Amino acid sequence: MRKHIVCLGDSNTHGYCADPRDCADGELLRFNEEERWTCLLQKHLGDGYLVTEEGLSGRTTVFRDPLEEGLATIDYLVPCLKSHEPVDLLVVMLGTNDTKDRFAASAPCIALGMERLVKKAAATECWGSGGPRILIVAPPAIDERMPDSPVGGIMGTGCVEKSRQLGPLYAQLAERLELSFLDAAGCELNQVDYMHLTRKGHARLAKLLAAAVPTLI
């Protein structure tokens, strides 16, 4: 059996494309299987691995959205992991949506949400013979121009600074829980909403993960 990798995330894992000029299937506003980081990671790793996409736009760590249903990962985590067992590696990239003003959560509170999530994942009976292996990925910080973009009013004014704090907080969390960590800082964001990956950003993230994954399994 191939090594099973579950990639759990939000719109940047689902492949949302905010700029139709940047993706081949512009009308769909989603990067295709030749562009998404999850699919590119599968190609980089080869047939010995099975990379499973679990991305949902708007998804948070633990916060239940008052405007949309089903976005808190904590409520979906167990059936997700159990449906893909045995899991050899869980890659979690979340936190961007948690910074929305309507959740009123500070960056340390978002990190606590991530901690609750990964602890629950580790305790779920879904793991392969190597036991729980979890890689926390800090998403790229939201660009300071986002508040003036079309999504600025929905996201709120405090998102940028909170998103900048997540990388160091996640790194500390991973070290304390003896989990793996990768910072996606430097993966390019688009010039439309300043918070979603470009095609180049997807490609860079895939390469970073392709170098890291074989050392973790």
pTM across the whole model:
0.96
- Please state, for a pLDDT cut of 70, what percent of the chain lies above it: 100
Q: Are 213 and 166 in contact (CB under 8 A)?
A: no
Mean pLDDT over residues 176-192, rounded?
A: 97
Q: Are 72 and 64 in contact (CB under 8 A)?
A: yes
According to the model, what pLDDT value does residue 26 have?
Answer: 83
Question: Which among 85, 50, 16, 12 has a CA at the least distance from the CA of 213?
Answer: 50
Going from N- to C-terminal start, the domains of the chain cover 3-215
Cis status of the peptide bond prior to 86, with omega within 30 of 0: yes
According to the model, what pLDDT value does residue 27 have?
Answer: 86
Instruction: For domain 3-215, say whether CATH 3.50.50.60 is its number.
Output: no
Backbone angles phi, psi at 84, to 5 degrees: -110, 10
